[in-house]
Copies of this chain bind each other. A is one copy, B any other.
């Protein structure tokens, strides 16, 4: 059986696991105040080209999003995001449970457009009733998006400009960041993300660690009580050093890049193989998530050798399925799928 359900199906990358084992019996203080976390922070800031800044660790993506959005918004504000964004669809209402509305923009291949964002905010403030409405208080985008697509550097700059114009923070969900950075044609770097956003997170869970996400900001002290909010959101890991140790590994010997590159190589092999077989793409994704439109009969046959997920509800005749690669995907698995179509 070959596994393409998602990028969280195995444990940690062996180099990460090795470090966890090597440090297992050491004693450290808790709650990410230990030296491993400090070391990881330094490496991450360096990788981002930041002289100073803030790095805080979380366990998973939903809690990172919910905590950061809660921290950045005032009570009367909502977060602007694509209608297809993870926070709008697949986080079980975590944002609203913290009291905030998700203000949706149309998605274009999973992305929002700077001009539509600008128009939305301008129109809001020109509406006489705006004080009865939820104010656009920050912008959320994901890189890569939930549909596997990427913002170009120009697109990112344009969105960042709009945010600066209206003085609202820009936050980027990087759950699958390694795969975005490594994608062919991508022109956005960690440094760009650090400089063009107010907060973004470097995904660990889906990119090589057991669990963990690293929130990065060029602002040292924008939300001084963010640490307490992490605790309040139940997101403060007692053995915080586990996150420090793992991110240390990810940012040593270029591991984060290598993980991204392998997954992208596998994803492109799959995409090209499927296209060669005449399989229809739902979307042209350059990253580790590939979406195929397949007859239900083909899907049934494929299930015998591979596991993968429906994207949305299945259709009566054809359905969209998602295949996800990661650092553990093998060429054999990819080829087996292609051959079975």
Q: Which residues of A contact B (CB under 8 A)?
A: 1, 3, 5-6, 8-12, 14, 17, 20-21, 23-30, 59-64, 66-67, 70-71, 74-78, 89-94, 96-102, 123-124, 126-129, 131-135, 205-206, 210-211, 225, 227-229, 231-239, 242, 307, 309-310, 312-314, 328
| Contacts A211-B242, A232-B94 given; does A309 touch B128 at CB 8 Å | yes
Partner of A96, one of B91, B100, B242, B307: B100
- Expressed in whole angstroms, the Cα–Cα distance for A5 and B241 within the complex equals 15
Across the interface, do B30 and A10 meet the contact criterion of CB distance under 8 Å? no
Across the interface, do B78 and A238 meet the contact criterion of CB distance under 8 Å? no
Residues of B within 8 A of A99 (CB): 93, 96-99
Residues of B within 8 A of A71 (CB): 75
- Give, as a whole number of angstroms, the nearest-CB distance from A134 to chain B: 4
Q: Which residue of B lies closest to A103 (CB)?
A: B93
Across the interface, do B62 and A76 meet the contact criterion of CB distance under 8 Å? no
Across the interface, do B231 and A132 meet the contact criterion of CB distance under 8 Å? yes
Residues of B within 8 A of A309 (CB): 128-129
| Contacts A94-B231, A228-B92 given; does A3 touch B27 at CB 8 Å | yes
Across the interface, do A236 and B30 meet the contact criterion of CB distance under 8 Å? no
Across the interface, do A10 and B29 meet the contact criterion of CB distance under 8 Å? no
Across the interface, do B101 and A93 meet the contact criterion of CB distance under 8 Å? yes
Q: Which 3 A-B pairs have the closest CB atoms?
A: A63-B234, A11-B24, A126-B313
Residues of B within 8 A of A63 (CB): 63, 233-235
| Contacts A24-B11, A205-B239 given; does A91 touch B228 at CB 8 Å | no
Across the interface, do B30 and A5 meet the contact criterion of CB distance under 8 Å? yes
- Expressed in whole angstroms, the Cα–Cα distance for A29 and B8 within the complex equals 8
Q: Which residue of B lies closest to A100 (CB)?
A: B96
Across the interface, do B239 and A8 meet the contact criterion of CB distance under 8 Å? yes
User: 29 A-B pairs, CB-CB below 8 angstroms?
Assistant: A1-B27, A6-B238, A11-B23, A11-B239, A21-B21, A59-B237, A60-B238, A62-B234, A63-B234, A75-B225, A76-B92, A76-B93, A78-B96, A89-B133, A90-B129, A90-B133, A91-B232, A92-B133, A92-B228, A92-B232, A123-B312, A127-B310, A127-B312, A128-B309, A131-B227, A135-B225, A205-B239, A210-B210, A211-B238
| Contacts A10-B26, A11-B23, A100-B93 given; does A234 touch B234 at CB 8 Å | yes
Across the interface, do A9 and B30 meet the contact criterion of CB distance under 8 Å? yes
Could you list 13 further interchain pairs (A-B, Cβ under 8 angstroms) beyond the known A60-B237, A76-B228, A94-B232?
A8-B30, A11-B20, A11-B25, A59-B59, A59-B211, A90-B132, A92-B131, A92-B133, A92-B229, A96-B99, A96-B101, A123-B312, A135-B225
- Expressed in whole angstroms, the Cα–Cα distance for A211 and B123 within the complex equals 31
| Contacts A234-B60, A238-B206 given; does A12 touch B24 at CB 8 Å | yes
Q: Which residue of B lies closest to A230 (CB)?
A: B92
Q: Which residue of B lies closest to A228 (CB)?
A: B76
Residues of B within 8 A of A67 (CB): 234
Across the interface, do A62 and B236 meet the contact criterion of CB distance under 8 Å? yes
